[in-house]
Amino acid sequence: MLIKERTKSVRIKKLEVMQRRIIRHHPRYLSIEDELSGRLAGHFGEQSNDYFLKPFREFSVLHDLRLTAHESYFQIDTLLLSPRYLLNLEVKYITGTLVFDHLNQVIRLKDDGTEEAFKNPIFQVKRQQSHLIEWMARNRIPPIPVRSLVVMSNTRTIIQAPPSSKDVPQYITHSPYLQERIKIIDKIYSVEKLNKREFGKLSKMLVQHHTPENPDLLKRYQIEEKDIIKGVYCTECFYMPVVRQYRTWICPKCSHKAHDLHLPTLEDYALLYGTTITNKQFCDFLQVSSRHVATRLLSDMNLKQTGSGKGRVYHLPEPQ
């Protein structure tokens, strides 16, 4: 049963907005593109791996879970829950070859022949497992076994490790073999550790304690307001700015027309600047010349409002 579905992270959505709206000659534009490309590859790799979980309907499934650990956070790509054990899956989409040496250092050999140091995914998944066990103890969940796997969603990823390595075959698998690995683990843990009430409490608490990441990417990439392309964009061809005529948005490039094209642009605003907006900020970001038009459009959205007059603030939905 799917408890928490997989969606694009707020980070990816912010990167998409920045790629769409940052001036092309900005010195950080290519860095933004590179990060977005890598994170989208990981996201789609996780989605493709979900296919191999479909036969296991007895599990409760949570995707993209982010919980507190001491003073920081830890994130789990996919968590399978049963009353007998939990299975933490860290999904990796990697091209090339991962080489593990006898010191557990990892080198990635790229398809172009170059090499780069790579974080050991086994250490990563072990930390996640440790944090999850500690989190459950802190929240008074009765002890239950936790297992972890690193899943390579790219079936062409090659894994090389010395024969003496025990962690690599124990922790790493490819997506097509995931079902067999789960069946093996399933046979080991046959005794229920949580009763119905305890299991329900765990499932509920995991969802309640999930805290989405919301990084300040404008600050990280040193993007200033002058670097942002403003205006309502066309959802068909992504041209901006579209123009407004007779209460309708019209794209000069593809002639697409719609009454509500300002809504996706307001989502862009919320991702870039936060969820509070004034009439003046609306006019500036959406390039609307009339404050009366802005007031009408904002009022039609039935948003929560605070303040009055020129100090009125409208509260947009939180990015999800």
Q: Is 231 exposed, middle or buried (0-12, 13-18, 19+ CB in 10 A)?
A: middle
The set of residues, in sequence order, having a beta carbon less than 8 Å from that of 83 and lying 6+ positions away, is 144, 192, 193, 194, 195, 196, 198, 199
pLDDT band at 112 (very low <50, low <70, confident <90, very high): confident
For the segment 147-163, the average pLDDT, to the nearest whole number, is 93
CB 137 within 8 A of CB 74: no
* Nearest alpha carbon to residue 269 among 311, 212, 229: 229
DSSP run (H or E) holding 314? strand 313-315
Residue 257 forms beta bridges with which residues? 250
Helices (H), the chain: 10-21, 29-50, 121-138, 167-171, 178-188, 196-209, 217-220, 262-273, 279-286, 291-300
Percent of the chain with pLDDT over 70: 100
- The CATH code for residues 230-315 is 1.10.10
Instruction: Report pTM.
Output: 0.85
239-258 per-position pLDDT tens digit: 999 999 988 999 999 999 99
In which residue ranges of the chain is CATH 1.10.10 found? 230-315
Q: Comparing 74 with 110, which gets the higher pLDDT?
A: 74
Structure tokens at 23: 């001036």
Structure tokens at 44: 């789609």
Q: Is 1 exposed, middle or buried (0-12, 13-18, 19+ CB in 10 A)?
A: exposed
123-145 per-position pLDDT tens digit: 999 999 999 999 999 999 999 99
Exposure string (b/e) for 28-55, b if CB count within 10 Å is 16 or more?
Answer: ebeebeebbeebeebbebbeebbebbee
What was the pLDDT predicted at 306?
92
Q: Is 201 helix (H, G, I), strand (E, B) or coil?
A: helix
Q: Is the pLDDT of residue 47 over 90?
A: no
190-233 per-position pLDDT tens digit: 999 999 999 999 999 999 999 988 999 999 999 999 999 999 99
Q: Is 283 exposed, middle or buried (0-12, 13-18, 19+ CB in 10 A)?
A: middle
Question: How many residues does the structure list for the chain?
Answer: 320
301-313 per-position pLDDT tens digit: 999 999 888 889 9
What was the pLDDT predicted at 164?
86
Structure tokens at 165: 């390595």
